[in-house]
Amino acid sequence: MALHLSATTLTTYTRCPYAYALEKVAKVPAYLKSISPEMHTGTALHAVLQSMVNEPELTPEKAQAKLEQSFNWNNYQDPQQAQAQFAIAQQRLQGWLETPYGWGAGEVISVEKMLRSPEVEGLILWGKPDMVRVAEDNILEVVDHKSGRYVPSLKEQKASWQAIVYRLLVEIRWPEFSDYRISFSYLATQSVLPIVYTPSEVESMWQRILQIAERIGKARASVTLDIALDEAFPARPGSHCRYCNTRMACSFYDGQEDYAATAH
């Protein structure tokens, strides 16, 4: 059976193999997973932006109405936290309406559509970009909106698995283009970070992913031979544990608040 990898699973594995194993090998049940409030906010915003892409015109009233429909208040146990997250969503949406990157220019050819690679050495790569369009400069562009506060450097974002996976997938799906660009639109700062890769960088990325897939495959096989999960997939505790959605099931999480405190 082919191994399926996405930007999320690649990020999880390279950050902490044990977290990957809890999610994909041990298959931690949903009630033991933790979803950050920011994730719910981002989900609601993405639903609104997706629905607004093909609107003939943008109006704050229509956007606000769509946000109210998309925002799931039931995801929050604390009403005050829910209200705070909704206010953040409103701010992010208003910022996008002022400079609506990805709307009204170029030819949109895909919105929230799943992209998959053919099987390569037992690996299938997949991803779901917010939007793919033919930009005005005739470059095939992926536009992905970010609702969080943090804006990485160009170097950091170019090395991110999300940018890498999207770049590989769009060329597989639309090979007729000569140039490709991955653009991240940061709603908190109304800024855009465009990323372009050279052909040699693309080849290097493929080889790196195939090497990771091979390591994962060997580790998964060793678990079936009664090798302990944390031996096959070593844990790497750190500040990221605070945001790990399987932390409630992780035996290495105790005391990780100290890591989080030193990270801020």
Tokens linked to 68: 């109210």
pTM comes to 0.90
| Number of domains observed in the structure of the chain | 3
* Same domain as 214, residue 173: no
Sign of the four-CA dihedral 221, 223, 226, 232:
positive
Please report, for residues 53, 64, 86, 87, the alpha-carbon distance to residue 59 in angstroms, rounded to integers and kept in the order given: 12, 9, 19, 18
CATH at 118: 3.90.320.10
**Domain containing residue 26:** 3-33+204-262
State the CB neighbour count (10 A cutoff) for residue 79.
Answer: 9
* Same domain as 125, residue 63: no
**Interval 159-215: pLDDT, tens:** 999 999 999 999 999 999 999 999 999 999 999 999 999 999 999 999 999 999 999
* Same domain as 186, residue 125: yes
Burial class of residue 114 in the structure, from the number of CB atoms within 10 Å of its CB (0-12 exposed, 13-18 middle, 19+ buried): exposed
The distance of Cα 102 from the centroid of its chain, to the nearest Å, equals 18
**Interval 6-62: pLDDT, tens:** 999 999 999 999 999 999 999 998 878 877 777 888 889 999 998 898 888 889 999
